[in-house]
Homo-oligomer: A and B are copies of this chain.
Amino acid sequence: MAELAGNVLVGQSGGPTAVVNASVAGIIAEALNHDCVEEIYGSLNGVYGLLQEDLIDLAAESQQQIRALKHTPGAALGSCRYKLKKPADFDRVLEVFKAHNIRYFFYIGGNDSQDTAAKISAHAQAQGYELRVIGVPKTVDNDLPATDHCPGYGSAAKYLATSVRELAADHESLGQGDLVSIIEVMGRGAGWIAASAALAKRRDQPHDPPHLIYLPEIPFNQEKCLEDIRRVLKREKFCQIVVAEGLTDADGNYVSADPATDAFGHAQLGGAGEFLRDLVEANLPGVKARLSNPGLLQRCAAHAASKVDADEAFLAGQAAVKAAINGETDKLITLVRGDTDIYSCETGLAPLGEVANNVKKLPREWINEDGVSMNFQFIRYAQPLIQGEVAVPHENGVPVFARLDKVRVDKTLPAYVA
């Protein structure tokens, strides 16, 4: 394989995770090892900034800032949800690549983003421009196929399991009166995050909270749900529920889609958590229902991130550079679990096209027969991913995150209207 000399470009896309910048740090750290890499650029706000020729010089950032990326939430380069649409967009991307001699393009993102990366690569090949494109996976949802698990998931899972254990310690102590505590969590199409709440249970303590987990994979049945809650309350006087936002009924409709009217007279879609709270209050007299909805805190809680997750996100970034330098292109970095009892993980490669627009759901055989709890297969899968804590430096009592200087690369092309 002939060495390809040129510049590196890194971009981030889609919803951030607590460790998505660890992959950026891994790419930069590895790229610095290779003489064929001349400059290391970042694209501001993913392909959106790429179209505008908004590039920054990542080699100009200090070592401290690059190191701090490992524990910094959000997308340090900026993110986007922009979809390259017209052929002119692809021509423009190629123009920018040529103008800045970009020969290595690393795109950190989920299914949509990897679809974009694959199309950019195809266009470059069609135009005879030598370019190596490697995708780095990221999503708290853990719903990417081809990879055993996805960087970002372990930290969301750890944050949720920690929060559920804390919430349960609080609620269990309240005594007097039946209490239903509901926590609504992320996950539209798959229940990976909701399922991870099961990690809050101690080993061999199946009655520990959370008592009921409602997953998008299991069609929701109102009568069964009320029965489930009554059974738990009878035993514990306290019922901790975890519900995925994407809970659907037997017809595949979101349960929360019943239109109510908000204070301004507009039809309003409540969340799955609000739906369950209303269900309990309307049907279980004398039972108190409480709702927590941490929302996007689930994907940015760097102070509670998993060390295994942060390390693997960094590793995936390094692996992307190694693969590209070795001549690979059109590939996604995957995480491959060792088949020994003690957890180990290395990286692999999958065709970019394979992951685009596919959703990996929870295997039915990892969910207990009751449909509301996870069995040992899931625990065996997920527990290694939340191990270890990330040491986040604090200043004045709050975590300190990286702030890149973002030194702009001079633009050489005319402006572009996307």
Residues of A within 8 A of B (CB): 12, 16, 18, 44-46, 48-49, 72-82, 158, 161-163, 165-176, 181, 199-200, 203, 256, 258, 260-264, 266, 268, 270, 274-275, 278-279, 281-282, 290-297, 299-304, 306, 383, 386-389, 394, 396-399, 401
- On whether the beta carbons of A294 and B296 are closer than 8 Å, the reply is no
From B48, B82, B199, B398, contact of A398 by CB (8 A):
B199
Query: Which chain B positions have C-beta within 8 A of A291?
Result: 293, 295
Given A79-B173, A383-B397: A167 touches B268 (CB 8 Å cut-off): no
- On whether the beta carbons of A278 and B296 are closer than 8 Å, the reply is no
A291 CB, nearest partner CB in chain B, Å: 6
- On whether the beta carbons of B293 and A275 are closer than 8 Å, the reply is no
- On whether the beta carbons of A170 and B263 are closer than 8 Å, the reply is no
- A166 and B305 CA atoms in complex are apart in Å by 12
From B72, B165, B383, contact of A399 by CB (8 A):
B165
- On whether the beta carbons of B174 and A398 are closer than 8 Å, the reply is no
A189 CB, nearest partner CB in chain B, Å: 19
From B170, B300, B302, B396, contact of A16 by CB (8 A):
B170
From B48, B171, B175, B266, contact of A176 by CB (8 A):
B48
Query: Which chain B positions have C-beta within 8 A of A397?
Result: 158, 161, 199, 306, 383, 386-388
**Can you pick out 16 interface pairs between chain A and chain B where the beta carbons lie within 8 Å of each other?**
A16-B170, A73-B170, A74-B172, A74-B173, A78-B173, A78-B174, A158-B397, A161-B397, A162-B303, A171-B296, A256-B263, A292-B293, A292-B297, A293-B295, A304-B304, A386-B398
- A293 and B166 CA atoms in complex are apart in Å by 16
Query: Which chain B positions have C-beta within 8 A of A275?
Result: 263
Most B C-beta atoms less than 10 A away, residue of A281, A291, A301: A301
- On whether the beta carbons of A399 and B297 are closer than 8 Å, the reply is no
Query: Which chain B positions have C-beta within 8 A of A175?
Result: 44-46, 48-49, 78-80
- On whether the beta carbons of B199 and A396 are closer than 8 Å, the reply is yes
- A274 and B268 CA atoms in complex are apart in Å by 11
Most B C-beta atoms less than 10 A away, residue of A46, A278, A279, A299: A278
Q: Which residue of B lies closest to A158 (CB)?
A: B397
Q: Which residue of B lies closest to A264 (CB)?
A: B282
- On whether the beta carbons of B74 and A297 are closer than 8 Å, the reply is no
Q: Which residue of B lies closest to A279 (CB)?
A: B264
- On whether the beta carbons of B303 and A296 are closer than 8 Å, the reply is no
A3 CB, nearest partner CB in chain B, Å: 34
- On whether the beta carbons of A261 and B260 are closer than 8 Å, the reply is yes
- A387 and B152 CA atoms in complex are apart in Å by 28
Query: Which chain B positions have C-beta within 8 A of A46?
Result: 175
- On whether the beta carbons of B295 and A290 are closer than 8 Å, the reply is yes
- On whether the beta carbons of A80 and B176 are closer than 8 Å, the reply is yes
Query: Which chain B positions have C-beta within 8 A of A263?
Result: 256, 258, 260, 270, 275, 278-279
Query: Which chain B positions have C-beta within 8 A of A303?
Result: 162, 166, 304
A179 CB, nearest partner CB in chain B, Å: 11
Most B C-beta atoms less than 10 A away, residue of A73, A174, A290: A174
Query: Which chain B positions have C-beta within 8 A of A81?
Result: 176
- On whether the beta carbons of B296 and A293 are closer than 8 Å, the reply is no
Most B C-beta atoms less than 10 A away, residue of A256, A291, A293, A299: A293
- A181 and B74 CA atoms in complex are apart in Å by 14
Query: Which chain B positions have C-beta within 8 A of A260?
Result: 260-263, 268
From B274, B293, B300, B304, contact of A169 by CB (8 A):
B300
- On whether the beta carbons of B170 and A74 are closer than 8 Å, the reply is yes
- A275 and B268 CA atoms in complex are apart in Å by 12
A264 CB, nearest partner CB in chain B, Å: 4
A125 CB, nearest partner CB in chain B, Å: 28
Query: Which chain B positions have C-beta within 8 A of A162?
Result: 303, 398-399
Q: Which residue of B lies closest to A385 (CB)?
A: B397
A200 CB, nearest partner CB in chain B, Å: 6
